[in-house]
Amino acid sequence: MLIFIDEAHIHLDSDEGYGWSVKGERFWVSSNSPGRAKVSFYGIYVYNYAKVKIFPYLKADQFNTIDVLKHLRTEFPDQEVTLIWDGAPYHRAQLVNEALQVLQINLQPLPSYSPDFMPVEHLWQWLREDVTYHTCYQSAAELIERVHLFEQDIHSNPFEISDRLWVKNHLDPDEEKLRVST
């Protein structure tokens, strides 16, 4: 079983996105100005089943990471699990490494600075398009509920999940020439 995990910190205030407005007029989005309020989400992509799970937490840290690992082992108790994730500091924590061993989860870390190889990055883009572009949430609970509905909705079409969360296994040199660092 191949499982990808990545985290995103989604703010309650509106994400800038693309939209239509009258030419020359400002595009307004109603906001209660929640400031820096956010929810940290752990996104799980179970590659073998084209299945997504999204877990909300107040923050991403080693303890919540271990909680997510326990959820995975509970859901797949008898299967060999290989986990792919990035080098976030809480992924490298001693307690997390111990939990991986106890839970018998194999780890395959991504190379440094390689979001192109992380399909969950596409999940976060999809989530922002559907959930947070031009939308402001009154509370963390409201955002969490909307993300839960998004998760349910995308499972109605597993082919779209596998299409949108495609896994790259190499970099295209011609594509890389077009990238610009800002």
Write the Ramachandran bin of 164: left for phi over 0, alpha for psi from -120 to 50, otherwise beta: alpha
Domain that holds residue 83: 2-14+34-168
Q: What's the mean per-residue pLDDT of the chain?
A: 86
pLDDT range class, residue 33, cuts 50, 70, 90: low
Query: Is 177 part of a structural domain of the chain?
Result: no
Q: What is the total count of domains within the chain?
A: 1
Query: Is 21 part of a structural domain of the chain?
Result: no
Query: Is 27 part of a structural domain of the chain?
Result: no
CATH number at residue 154: 3.30.420.10
Burial class from Cβ neighbours inside 10 Å (0-12, 13-18, 19+) for residue 58 reads: exposed
Query: Is 116 part of a structural domain of the chain?
Result: yes
Q: 176 or 126: whose pLDDT is higher? A: 126
Query: Is 157 part of a structural domain of the chain?
Result: yes
Angle, in degrees to the nearest 10, between helices 140-154 and 120-127: 120
pLDDT of residue 66 exceeding 70, the answer is yes
pLDDT of residue 163 exceeding 60, the answer is yes
Query: Is 90 part of a structural domain of the chain?
Result: yes
Average pLDDT over residues 149-168: 90
Q: What is the pTM of this model?
A: 0.82
C-alpha pair distances (Å), 106 with each of 17, 73, 128:
37, 12, 30
Average pLDDT over residues 103-118: 87
